[in-house]
């Protein structure tokens, strides 16, 4: 059984699914779900991370099991909503963890709200300019016609993604949650988020040098979907950054959950709250 117990909360009128770990800690951490998965993506690393911070994982609006709103389906708009989620959940200055699609949203949030987050961890998400994406993700971003994707069963897309997870067998509860999150046209409805990359990643690129929040970048060394050059691009431009490569493919948080959690918790300790005098 998973330690993750989801519930729902209304944020700006949207039903947002989240889960939190038991017990208070000195620090909070807000975890953003990757695509096409859900907050259960953190299942394999959950207990390791929960020993170091109070965790709150969320399905971003329109993804996982959270309600979709079309105006939030871009990295910049989602970044603003991430701050709103943190406000609604009472997270005063959490660490922010945003792999995959959360990468650009988390960095927009940090750029627009200096000091709002204690630290940021990103990676495995499109970032570089010009675009440097591989496999189906590049096709999804550049496709001129979405009709074929609307005709494709959403569960087929999720099954394809799950089949590329290397060296880790998804627990049944996690697999079923992923499949249940992407019914009907939901996958095609989410595609505007990554299709906003050509317009919004250059804007983000211009903001990187001004981000004072410490940023950790974790990426799979063998990621065929988001090549390592994206992580290197961020590391070169962010003034307070650390780059950690894991020997994984795209789904680093599941393919090497222990290494992923170890890198993050070391980062959290390096950016721990200062004890009160």
Give me the numbers of helices (H) and strands (E) for the chain, helices first please: 13, 8
Measured CA to CA, the distance from residue 182 to residue 206 in angstroms comes to 34
Measured CA to CA, the distance from residue 178 to residue 168 in angstroms comes to 15
Residue 124, classed as helix, strand or coil, is coil
- Segment 57-63 mean pLDDT: 97
| Per-residue pLDDT band at 275 (split at 50, 70, 90) | low
The pair of structure tokens assigned to 155 is 């569960």
Instruction: Please tell me the number of Cα atoms within 13 Å of 67 on its side-chain side.
Output: 11
- If one counts every other C-beta atom within 10 angstroms of the C-beta of residue 252, the result is 28
Name every residue whose Cβ is closer than 8 Å to that of residue 140 and which is 6 or more positions away in sequence: 149, 191, 194, 195
| Per-residue pLDDT band at 277 (split at 50, 70, 90) | very low
Give all strands (DSSP E) within the chain, no chain letters.
Answer: 7-11, 14-20, 28-32, 54-58, 95-99, 119-123, 215-220, 241-246
Average pLDDT score over the chain: 93
| Per-residue pLDDT band at 93 (split at 50, 70, 90) | very high
Query: Residue for token digits 């290494």?
Result: 259
- Segment 216-234 mean pLDDT: 97
Measured CA to CA, the distance from residue 259 to residue 254 in angstroms comes to 10
Percent of the chain whose pLDDT exceeds 70:
96
Q: In this predicted structure, which of 16-25, 64-73, 98-107, 255-264 has the lowest mean pLDDT? A: 16-25
* DSSP secondary structure code for residue 117 in this structure: S
**264 with 216: CB under 8 angstroms?**
yes
| pLDDT on residue 157 | 79
The listed range with the strongest mean pLDDT (105-114, 136-145, 185-194) is 105-114
- Segment 223-243 mean pLDDT: 98
Measured CA to CA, the distance from residue 81 to residue 76 in angstroms comes to 9
Name every residue whose Cβ is closer than 8 Å to that of residue 258 and which is 6 or more positions away in sequence: 45, 48
| pLDDT on residue 92 | 94
Is pLDDT of 177 > 60?
Answer: yes
For the stretch 124-160, pLDDT in tens is: 999 999 999 998 888 889 887 777 777 766 677 788 8
pTM for the complete prediction? Answer: 0.95
Is pLDDT of 74 > 90?
Answer: yes
Percent of the chain whose pLDDT exceeds 90:
82
- Residue with the bigger pLDDT between 141 and 217: it is 217
Q: What are phi and psi of 120, to 5 degrees?
A: -130, 135
**93 with 248: CB under 8 angstroms?**
no
């Amino acid at each position: 059984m998973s330690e993750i117990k989801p519930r729902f909360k209304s944020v700006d009128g949207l039903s947002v699914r989240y889960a939190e770990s038991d017990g208070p800690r000195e620090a909070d951490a807000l975890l953003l779900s990757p695509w096409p998965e859900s907050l259960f993506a953190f299942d394999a690393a959950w207990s390791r991370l929960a020993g170091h911070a109070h965790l709150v994982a969320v399905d971003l609006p329109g993804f996982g099991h959270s309600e979709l709103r079309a105006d939030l389906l871009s990295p910049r708009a989602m970044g603003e909503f991430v701050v709103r989620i943190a406000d609604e959940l009472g997270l005063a200055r959490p660490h922010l963890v945003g792999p995959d699609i959360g990468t650009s949203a988390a960095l927009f949030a940090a750029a627009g709200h200096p000091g709002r987050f204690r630290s940021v961890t990103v990676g495995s998400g499109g970032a570089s300019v010009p675009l440097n994406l591989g496999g189906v993700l590049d096709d999804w971003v550049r496709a001129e016609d979405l009709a074929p994707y609307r005709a494709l069963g959403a569960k087929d897309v999720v099954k394809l993604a799950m089949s590329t997870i290397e060296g880790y067998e998804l627990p049944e509860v996690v697999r079923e949650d992923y499949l249940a999150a992407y019914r009907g046209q939901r996958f095609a409805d989410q595609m505007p988020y990554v299709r906003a990359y050509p317009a919004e990643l250059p804007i983000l690129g211009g903001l990187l040098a001004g981000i004072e929040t410490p940023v950790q970048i974790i990426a799979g060394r063998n990621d065929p979907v988001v090549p390592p050059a994206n992580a290197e691009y961020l590391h070169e431009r962010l003034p307070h950054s650390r780059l950690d490569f894991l020997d994984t493919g795209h789904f680093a948080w599941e393919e090497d959950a222990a290494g992923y959690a170890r890198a993050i918790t070391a980062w959290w300790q390096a950016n721990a709250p200062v004890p009160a005098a």
